[in-house]
Amino acid sequence: MTRHRLIENIRNKKSILCIGLDTDVQKIPKHLLDYDDPVFEFNKQIIEATHDLCVAVKPNIAFYECLGISGWNSLSKTMKIIPDTIFTIADAKRGDIGNTSAMYAKTFFEIYDFDAVTVAPYMGFDSVEPFLRYENKWTILLALTSNPGSADFQFLDSAGQSLFEHVIRKSIEWKSSGNLMYVIGATKASMLNDIRKIIPDHFLLVPGVGAQGGTVAEVCRYGMNKDFGLLINASRSILYASSGKDFALRAREEALKLVEEMKPFFQT
């Protein structure tokens, strides 16, 4: 998906909501276990209930690959029913030596046709470059994450700046850096002002809203730019709003609450 089309979709929906499909077969409503493919059925009903509210969906690959072949099949079937107006993110957190990364890029960009994939930058440019080769595909670099352990490394001093800042500054020097987006956790929302001074125009994928405690208002206030520039992700708070047969309806209600919180930040 092109940047222009993503921005148009955001403008039309007045939404920057990304729904994370962290579909855990142990948590989905029990009645779905009667289906041949419970994971796909859950995803299908969530997508049907929320497709007009979200601009992106983000399957967390770990929840599919742990199921073996059946999980990959569920993922493939899910990808085929996502409307082409919705930006698709493979939350895979890949990143390895160049020839291995090239295979990861082929998997998610060619075989499964995702618009974007999350990538860990620890191994440097040659581990990220194979993802950046793809036109109109996006590499979402882990920068400042929302988990408690982020403090172990991401805030270490690196030549007078935090390591995560060093990662961002270095990455924008790379060839095709215009194809980069960045993961910035919602629980660090107050730091978005400083981050925007480094990358004023890039899109940010912001997890941590909802179950992890981040707020939409803070993220929008500090992180939104002239092209909106944000994809705010919510997963558990939407997916598991109900464990009953009304799960899709309740998921829609939770998604709508977040979209309503976003609307004041859109110019009319």
Buried b (16+ CB within 10 A) or exposed e, 129-146: bbbbebeebbbbbbbbbb
CA distance 177 to 173: 7
Q: Residues 8-17: pLDDT tens digits?
A: 999 999 999 9
Asked whether the beta carbons of 259 and 15 are under 8 A apart, the reply is yes
Q: Which amino acid is at 48?
A: E
Q: What's the one-letter identity of residue 120?
A: A
In this predicted structure, what is the pLDDT of residue 160?
87
Q: Are 167 and 195 in contact (CB under 8 A)?
A: no
Any idea what the CATH number is for the domain that residue 120 is in? 3.20.20.70
Q: Looking at the 3D structure of the chain, how many domains does it have?
A: 1
Rounded to the nearest 5°, which phi and psi values hold at 85? -85, -5
pLDDT at 211 over 60: no
What is the CB neighbour count within 10 angstroms for residue 234? 27
How far, in Å, are 127, 197, 251 from residue 102 at the CA level?
A: 9, 31, 36
**Tokens linked to 166:** 């060093």
Closest listed residue to residue 206, CA positions, set 126, 197, 225? 225
Distances (CA, A) of 247 to 21, 53, 84, 226, 250: 14, 16, 24, 35, 5
Domain containing 38: what range?
A: 3-265
Tell me the average pLDDT across 147-164.
Answer: 87
Residue recorded with tokens 């890029």: 105
Name the residue with higher pLDDT: 150 or 141. 141
Q: pLDDT (tens digit, 9 = 90+) per residue, 31-77?
A: 999 999 999 999 999 999 999 999 999 999 999 999 999 999 999 99
| Mean pLDDT, rounded, for 118-147 | 94
For Cα atoms 78, 84, 88, give the angle at the middle one, nearest 5 degrees: 60
pLDDT of the residue at 185 = 86
C-alpha distances (whole Å) from 204 to each of 83, 85, 184 are: 22, 19, 6
CA atoms within 13 A on the CB side of 31: 7
Catalytic sites, residue numbers:
93
Q: Say whether pTM exceeds 0.85.
A: yes
Mean pLDDT of the chain: 93
Looking up tokens 């957190």 gives 93
